[in-house]
Amino acid sequence: MATLKKETLLEWYRQMVLIRLFETRCDELYREKKITGVYLHLYSGHEAVGVGALATLGPEDHVITAYRDHGIALARGVHPNPVMAEMMGKKTGTSGGKGGSMHLASREHNFWGGYAIVGGHLPLATGIGLACRYQKTENVVISFIGDGATNNGYFHESLNMSQIWDLPVVWIIENNLVGMGTRIEDSSGQVELHKRAIGYGMKDAGRVDGQDVLAVYDTVSEAVAYARKTGPVLIEAMTYRYKGHGVSDKSYDKRLADELKQWTENRDPINLLKKHLTSKYKNLDAELLAIEARCATEVEESVQFALSSPAPTYEDLINNVYVK
């Protein structure tokens, strides 16, 4: 287990609290129709996976994910203002308001999105990994994958090619036990998803407790070091989705109220880190409260920034659109 400084742990605490408050506020804004779109997928419950994993990367490394992407953008260090503006489709958003919640990306952070088609970003992760090797860099790619994406063709093709070419990709399955409303037992013959690595001759880094940010950091650190020099690695992070598939999906919460209670009361990633911090260091309560207050202010500032930002113009909308 890595020896980590108190400042590092507090920074991870800050990032996880920021993500939780940001997502909770997005939920409200969606109901108020300030954030629009067919879906809004919250990262609440998964925070330790994104924060622990991305803490292992440098700025030159690459990150890609599916549509549960706002938390990942914040963990990658994208400022909340352009993230919130993108959610509201504003000109000041990360993609000028044209990406929205499912297609958040920030080129300057090597954060390549945000993809709505399940598994559709996996071939892109393989391609970015190929570019890293081709350009003779030592950069790596972290690609997050939903458990529901592990049974489509993109998964097979992308992981297989990454192994054949020894690409520097760390594949992290965020196993939250469900894809929309389908339980993992009903969609996968092998529910220990990390074992899929064997089929590709890939390094299997096993299962990690995705609610424990320190455990995630340790496992991903080793995987990143291996990927830089040698080739791809598959990790399965066990986590839990606190909200419905999208914010308008309420049925799932009701059906699994007991399970949800267990996870939120006993396995919440923010509470677990708080417990770790307060057992290790004395008199931390005021500092943690100050962090929480700063995050709340930052989220509110992002909301005001986004609300007061202009919408894209017609010229903005047709700009960067390829026409043959």
Ligand X SMILES: Cc1ncc(C[n+]2csc(CCOP(=O)(O)OP(=O)(O)O)c2C)c(N)n1
Residue ranges that bind ligand X, judged by CB under 6 A: 68, 116-118, 146-149, 176, 178-180, 241, 245
Of 127 and 179, the one with the shorter C-beta distance to ligand X is 179
Q: How far is the CB of 42 from ligand X (least distance, A)?
A: 10
Residues ≥6 apart with Cβ < 8 Å to 195: 204
Q: In this structure, what token pair is assigned to residue 72?
A: 């990942």
State the nearest-atom distance from the C-beta of 84 to ligand X, in Å: 21
- Nearer CB in complex with ligand X: 44/139: 44
Residue nearest to ligand X (CB): 146
Nearest distance in Å: CB 176, ligand X: 5
Name the residue nearer to ligand X (CB basis): 203 or 245.
Answer: 245
Minimum Å distance from CB 279 to ligand X?
A: 31
Greatest Cα pair distance in the chain? 64
Residue 38 C-beta: closest distance to ligand X, Å: 10
Distance separating the N- and C-terminal Cα atoms of the chain? 54
Q: Which ranges constitute the DSSP H helices of the chain?
A: 6-31, 47-54, 70-75, 80-87, 122-134, 153-164, 184-187, 196-200, 213-229, 251-255, 257-266, 269-280, 285-307, 314-318
Distance CA 160, CA 87 (A): 34
Q: Which is nearer to ligand X, 72 or 220 (CB)?
A: 72
Q: Which is nearer to ligand X, 241 or 267 (CB)?
A: 241
Compute φ and ψ for 126, nearest 5 degrees: -60, -45
